[in-house]
Amino acid sequence: MVIVETQREKEIFLEKWNNNESVIIPIWEDLERHPMNNSLSFLYVYTANNDYILPYNHNDCERVQIDLSESEQPKWIWNKKGFLQTNIDIKNLKDVHTSLFFQTNQTYDLNLKLEGLTTFYYRLGMRDGLGKSIPIMKFGEVLRGIVGDWVLNTTNDWIDNTMIPILSDIERLGITVDTGKFFDRWPDSSKHIKGGKIFTEYNPYTITSRPSNRHGGINFSALNKKDGSRESFIPKEGNIFLQMDYDAYHVRIIGKLVKYQLPDTSVHQWLGDQYGCDYNEGKGRTFRILYGGVSEEDKRIPFFEEVDRFIQELGRDSVSKGWVQTPKGRKISISWIENPNPQKIFNYLLQASETEFNIEVMKKLKEESLPLPILYTYDSFLFEYPIDGGTEVAKGIKSVLQSFGFPIKASWGMDYSKV
């Protein structure tokens, strides 16, 4: 194992790096902090049957100055989403976690693998800066064994090249907090605040790739309007929160999947009229049908007759093939779904389709140089918007969000509980 510090060591390393596939594990100063609230300690690089340490900020050695951007060979990296938030340019990055997950349907906890190394230092009370304080060669010995356990031969290009970069871009934006209210609600999360912001962390490693969003003890996907926790999150000075939500999103996605033309007006009201009840009662009945199954009575409504036909055909086809295919061509193995009856297979496809539409629409926002949301939650997108910014950009955002045929409704306010 070589710690790359001298000019000669850099030359030897770069020759192997530029001409060979490599595996990279970034080690951060604090193994618990978000990449945007952290500093890179070093990169562990395994290439051409040799391993190297590229130090950036570690007590054992001097910072390396080295250009990693020239190699055209594939580079497997642990936590591509977090690494993209550094200023280090590496081409052809493939995500280790994505490869391992698509082989096993299980996540790989790198920090758990490092526990044995860090336990002694935790006992000493050195909770901060472990990645900087633990001897770099100790890390190297453990990381060599970890890389040896990985079989990196499967990936998903859409997740690697579209989903992960978009989620990384959103994470780096952060959300401003009212520190007084925030610390009252989450007193143990002070270390996760930087510059008055908390940073989100999306986890796309679920069967459907629908991301959860947790960091620093906060579940951003389940913040409650009623318990006051949303009041902690505020727009930066001179801005308001602008939230755009899809209306009847899952019902409209189902319409696309089954190729049924739904009305441009309120879908829930349209279905409520067919049930013979009001909007709220109709909405509840619709969700019971879509997630619980279509009854014979429900089939009297043409839309649900088409939905039931689609569900039954999807179930038979998916069990026969051994997988269900999403609109972007991802294959979800039936073996990953417990008790894969047609209704459950359909629900997994629905969540996967929702995720793909959302990521694609945010990709389109980026391509058109429009703002990305600072928080994305299933059918909802939260933006910071300048108070004096006029309406043109907002109209552009709305146009893009609706470009796949899903209408949105907008709300705004001065904290997250008001939208």
Q: What per-residue confidence (pLDDT) applies to 63?
A: 85
List the pLDDT tens digit at each of the 419 positions of the chain.
Answer: 999 999 999 999 999 999 999 999 999 998 889 999 999 999 999 999 999 999 999 988 888 889 999 999 999 999 999 999 999 999 999 999 999 998 888 888 888 888 777 666 655 555 557 788 888 888 888 999 999 889 998 778 899 999 999 999 999 999 999 999 999 999 999 899 999 999 999 999 999 999 999 999 999 999 988 888 999 999 999 999 999 999 999 999 999 999 999 998 999 999 999 999 999 999 999 999 988 899 999 999 999 999 999 999 999 999 999 999 999 989 999 999 998 999 999 999 999 999 999 999 999 999 999 999 999 999 999 999 999 989 999 999 999 999 999 999 999 999 999 99
- Say if CB 417 and CB 230 are below 8 A apart: yes
The answer on 372 and 255 residing in a single domain is no
Give the C-alpha distances (Å, rounded to integers) separating 117 from 3, 27, 142, 148.
19, 13, 8, 17
Residue 40 domain-assigned (yes or no): yes
The answer on 286 and 143 residing in a single domain is no
Give the C-alpha distances (Å, rounded to integers) separating 75 from 68, 89, 140, 146, 281.
11, 12, 19, 16, 53
The answer on 81 and 200 residing in a single domain is no
Q: What per-residue confidence (pLDDT) applies to 121?
A: 61
Residue 256 belongs to a domain with what CATH number?
1.10.150
Rounded Cα distance between 83 and 77, Å, is 8
Residue 161 domain-assigned (yes or no): no
Among 90, 121, 153, residue at a domain's last position: 153
Among 107, 122, 153, residue at a domain's last position: 153
Tell me, what DSSP letter sits at residue 233? B
Provide the 3-class DSSP secondary structure of residue 327. Answer: coil
Count how many residues are written for the chain.
419
The answer on 84 and 64 residing in a single domain is yes
Name residue, tokens 């994470």.
171
The dihedral through the CA atoms of 201, 204, 207, 208 has a sign that is: positive
Strand bridging mode 50-55 / 40-47: antiparallel
Q: What per-residue confidence (pLDDT) applies to 299?
A: 93
Q: Which amino acid is at 352?
A: A
Residue 159 domain-assigned (yes or no): no
The tally of domains found in the chain comes to 3
Q: What per-residue confidence (pLDDT) applies to 15?
A: 96
Strand bridging mode 40-47 / 93-95: unpaired
Q: What per-residue confidence (pLDDT) applies to 125?
A: 52
The answer on 71 and 172 residing in a single domain is no
Strand bridging mode 50-55 / 212-215: unpaired
* Element (DSSP H or E) covering residue 194: strand 193-194
Residue 160 domain-assigned (yes or no): no
SS3 percent helix, strand, coil of the chain, rounded to 5, is 45, 20, 35
Residue 406 belongs to a domain with what CATH number?
3.30.70.370
Q: What per-residue confidence (pLDDT) applies to 119?
A: 64
The answer on 199 and 261 residing in a single domain is no
Q: Which amino acid is at 321?
A: K
Rounded Cα distance between 343 and 337, Å, is 12
Rounded Cα distance between 36 and 51, Å, is 27
The answer on 352 and 365 residing in a single domain is no
Reading the block at residue 158, the tokens are 């859409």
Q: What per-residue confidence (pLDDT) applies to 128?
A: 59
The answer on 299 and 223 residing in a single domain is no
Q: Among 207, 203, 204, which residue's Cα sits nearest to residue 337?
A: 207
Q: What per-residue confidence (pLDDT) applies to 373?
A: 98
The answer on 18 and 135 residing in a single domain is yes
Residue 46 domain-assigned (yes or no): yes
The answer on 301 and 206 residing in a single domain is no
Q: Among 417, 2, 27, which residue's Cα sits nearest to residue 224?
A: 417
Q: What per-residue confidence (pLDDT) applies to 153?
A: 85
Rounded Cα distance between 242 and 249, Å, is 19
The answer on 373 and 312 residing in a single domain is no
Concatenating the DSSP letter of every residue in 39-97 gives -EEEEEEEETTEEEEEESSBTTBPPP--------S-EEETTHHHHTTSS---SSEEEHH
Rounded Cα distance between 283 and 287, Å, is 6
Residue 186 domain-assigned (yes or no): yes
Residue 73 domain-assigned (yes or no): yes
Q: Kindly report the pTM of this predicted structure.
A: 0.94
Q: What per-residue confidence (pLDDT) applies to 340?
A: 93
- Say if CB 40 and CB 57 are below 8 A apart: yes
Residue 188 domain-assigned (yes or no): yes
Among 331, 356, 381, residue at a domain's last position: 356
The answer on 369 and 239 residing in a single domain is yes
* Domain that residue 267 falls in: 249-356
